[in-house]
Structure 1
Amino acid sequence: MSSIEIRHIVFDIGRVLIHYDPHIPFARLIPDEAERNWFFANVCTHDWNLEQDRGRRWEDAEALLIEAHPDRVEQIRAFRKHWHEMVSPAYVESVAILETLISQGRDVTMLTNFAADTFKEARKMYPFLDKPRGVTVSGEIGLIKPDLAIYEKHSRDFGLSPAHTLFIDDAPANVEGARMAGWNAVLFTGAEKLKSDLAAHGIAL
C-alpha cells in the first residue's frame, strides 16, 4: 500500500464514467465497415475531433472538412448531430465508485478532454456529473490533456496538493501527463481494477 495520503481524487470522464464510441451512430449511417473505418481515418478523425476538445467551434470544424470533402457533407454534419448517441451508456459501476467516494466525504473533482457545448449536453444526460466539487473542461479553457498546463491549472483552480492527488484516466498518455505534474495516477481498465487501485492508495470503499 502507498504511504502517501490521498486527499484529492480526480476522475476523467470519457471511457471512465461514460462510454464513448462514434461507431454507435455511424454503424447505421455508414453500414459498410470498411467505408466507415476509412471515414474515421480520413475525414472525421480523432485528431480533428480533438481540436473541438481544445476549443475549436463545431461550425469551423465542419467547414474545414466540408471544403476538403464536399461529397461527405451529410456525414460530416452527422458527427455533431448524432453526438449524443456516442456517449451512451454510463458505466454504472464506475459511477457507483464516484458516488461512494463523494458520500464518504472525499474531495472529488473531474478533469476531461471535452468540447464545451457537448459537455453541457452530457451534464443534462448524466446528472451525476454535477456531484463532484467541480470540473475542468478542456474546451472551455483551450488546453487539453496530456499538456502539463491543464493539470497545473486544475491544481490551482481547485487548491489541490499534487503529491496528495490521485488521477484516474483511461489513456496512458494522460496518466503519464498527470505523473509529470507531480500527481499520483492510475490507468482505468475497469471498475474492479479501479477498486484495487484505490485500495492500494489507502482508499477503502
Structure 2
Amino acid sequence: MIQTIIFDLGGVFVDWNPQYLYRKIFTDESEMHYFLENICTADWNEEQDGGRTIQEATDYLLAKHPEYADNIRAYYERWPEMLGGLISGTVDIFKELKAKKEYNFYALTNWSAETYPIAQEKYEFLSWFDGVVVSGTEKDRKPFASFYQTLLNRYNVNVSEAIFIDDNLRNVHAAEAVGIKTIHFTSPEALRAELNALGIL
C-alpha cells in the first residue's frame, strides 16, 4: 500500500525553461539554440544542481567564451525570467491528495541551492510538502542512487510503500533501480489517470 508520494518539481509542478529568457535576448532562434546547446548547456546547469556555485559556474564559462559574456551573465542575473509559471493541473492534484490526509509528501529535486529560495518565495505549494530534498544543498543529484537514498533515510521511507513521479525518464529509471515504484509524468491529465488507476487519488 502506498503511504508516501515523492514528486519531482521542475517539469511536474514548475514550467522552467531557459528559452523563455533567451528568446528575449536572441532575435535569431537558431542562434539561441546554438547558445543553449553549446555554451550554457544542460550539462553545465546540472553542475549547479549538484552543488557548484553560480559564481564558479559563471566564471568558468566567461573564461571559455568571453565573446558571450553578457549572455552568460544573464543566465543567473535574469534567472526568474526562465520561470513560465505553475503547471496548475499538478497543483490541483496535489491539493486533492493533501485533503485525503492519507499520505506523506516529499519533493526530490535537482535545483541549485542558490535559486531554489526564489521558487520558495514565489510558489506557496512548496510549503505543503512534509520535506524537500534539494540537490544543490546536498551536493548530490538525480540520477545518482545516493540522492534517492538521502530522502529515503532522512524521512524513514519504506521503498515498498512509496511512489516517485518525475518527467525525466532517466530519473524515473534510477528510482526504479533503487526499488521505488514510479510514474513517468507527461501531463497532469495522464498523472490523474494513473493515480486513479492505482487507487491513490
TM-score tier, shorter chain, comes to over 0.9
Quote the Cα distance in structure 1 between the aligned partners of 2:40 and 2:96. Answer: 37
The C-alpha deviation readout for 1:136-175, integer Å capped at 9, x for no partner, is 0000001110101111111011111101100000000100
Instruction: Tell me which residue corresponds to 1:18.
Output: 14
Judging by fraction of residues, say which structure has more strand. Answer: 2
1:73 and 2:87 are equivalent in the alignment: no
Shift of 1:88: 2.0
What is the SS of the residue equivalent to 1:160?
coil
Matches within 5 A, 1:33-112: 33-105=29-101, 106-112=103-109
Quote the Cα distance in structure 2 between the aligned partners of 1:155 and 1:41. Answer: 34
Quote the Cα distance in structure 2 between the aligned partners of 1:99 and 1:145. Answer: 26
Quote the Cα distance in structure 2 between the aligned partners of 1:97 and 1:114. Answer: 22
Shift of 1:196: 1.4
Shift of 1:23: 0.5
Quote the Cα distance in structure 2 between the aligned partners of 1:109 and 1:200. Answer: 21
Quote the Cα distance in structure 1 between the aligned partners of 2:114 and 2:60. Answer: 19
Quote the Cα distance in structure 2 between the aligned partners of 1:119 and 1:16. Answer: 15
What is the SS of the residue equivalent to 1:25?
helix
Instruction: Tell me which residue corresponds to 1:9.
Output: 5
Instruction: Tell me which residue corresponds to 1:134.
Output: 131
**How many residues are paired up?**
200
Point out where structure 1 has 5 or more consecutive residues left out of the alignment. Answer: none
The C-alpha deviation readout for 1:93-114, integer Å capped at 9, x for no partner, is 1011112111211211100000
Quote the Cα distance in structure 2 between the aligned partners of 1:123 and 1:115. Answer: 12
Instruction: Tell me which residue corresponds to 1:121.
Output: 118
Shift of 1:200: 2.4
Q: CA RMSD in A?
A: 0.8
What is the SS of the residue equivalent to 1:143?
coil
Match of residue 157, structure 1, among 151, 154, 164: 154
Match of residue 32, structure 1, among 28, 33, 44: 28
- Superposition misfits of 4+ residues, deviation over 6 angstroms: none
Paired letter, 1:135: V
What is the SS of the residue equivalent to 1:163?
helix
Shift of 1:199: 1.8
Shift of 1:201: 2.1
Instruction: Tell me which residue corresponds to 2:170.
Output: 173
**Structure 2-normalised TM-score?**
0.97
Quote the Cα distance in structure 2 between the aligned partners of 1:40 and 1:203. Answer: 39
